[in-house]
Structure 1
Amino acid sequence: MPVEPAASVWEFPPVGVAGPSDVVAGGADLAPGTVLAAYRRGLFPMPDHRGSILWWSPVDRGVIEVAGYRPSRSLRRARAKYEIRVNTAFDRVIRACGDPRRPGFWIDDDIIAAYTELHRLGWVHSVEAWDGDELAGGLYGVAIGGLFAGESMFHHKTDGSKAAVAGTIELLDDEYAAGRVFDIQWVTDHLATLGATEIPRESYVRRLELAIELPLPKAFT
């Protein structure tokens, strides 16, 4: 089970009454207690181009609804290509996601260090797509009760990241599926093809408050 770190010395503003910007706050630190406190409020960290920490809560939050999810034919084909594993190559996954050659690079050394420590404490997990002994793709995210907050994904082989998303949905689809929240931050064109939708920030926060009280999926315990 996850180990609760020391409480944060920082206080975040209420997200439910935040303004029209996706950025809600700036500053603080990336200590485990700070990062977890942020997720429990509906925030996540992402540095700006100067490396300063910003805390985000999108006005329109991207989610994938787990309960009743119906994968497309192309997603079923992608999933069938690969074996899904959890937490067997976390360092490789987060470093592939943080490859500075990727467009929109933002996962710097500080982010990697922070989420690696949260992984050590049992709060952050990798979901990996394997083709035999080859890591084809994967994603990592924060699991708090019924929340799985996907942070980033990558692929080394065709459909590797799609298979990891499909595998994550399978891991979350249990008797608590209706209350679970699979957060993907923003809906991109690619994620929309996988079934991602947008919900208002206020709805996300209400669902989050209930979700974090649920048991963790067995794969993440």
Structure 2
Amino acid sequence: MTDPAAERRRGLLVPAALALLLLSGCAGESPAPSAASSSSAPSASAPSASPARSPQAAPGTPDAAPSPAPSPVPSAAPGALPPVLAESAPVAVRIPAVGASSELLHLGLRPDGSLDVPPTHPGAPASWYTSSPTPGERGPAVLLGHVNATGGGPGVFAGLRSLVPGDTVEIARADGSTAVFVVERGEQYAKDAFPTRAVYGNTAGAELRLITCDGYDPATGLFDDNYVVYARLTA
């Protein structure tokens, strides 16, 4: 039987209103100095995580022994579309270049339509947005994480600004496979000029978006920007 949630994720553009909800929760205390960026910081007032698709964060650790490479789903015709992977929920993320690793919460929208974002306590994990494709499926899978934790320590995505083209992001999946993405670029965007289509729009192949807060303003205690890393599934 077709999974309705999976069908909603595939082939759909995230509406602009939802994109704003995804990106509007960044506000809080001054960031601790880090190699990532002195102007970047995540929310220090984010609510506790409440998975919307899975009752708990999926099991697994990013430091486990590497699993066999997943088998791509064949495209309809040679060269027609980039290869993709079968649907499989993500359980952990690992970013070797910056020494980051985290299990992944599965978070969606609250009943009021606002995004359920990861918590900010030290060691808090990143999350996969459940209305985006699973990492490896066609389309942009979306992961959210904080730059710093409550109290000013580093968050799981503190090193995003240090990533350069060619760095890899490894996503452990529930089927035992690992989807490996290669970083293409990182971009800082003002929240009032966020390029919704570029970040959340349909893509020909399997892609990944890592999103965190940026542009901390010590005068207001608010975060004016977001930082987005774009990556694609390796062939």
Interval containing the TM-score (normalised by the shorter chain): 0.3 to 0.5
TM-score, structure 2 normalization: 0.33
TM-score, structure 1 normalization: 0.35
Q: Which has the higher helix share?
A: 1
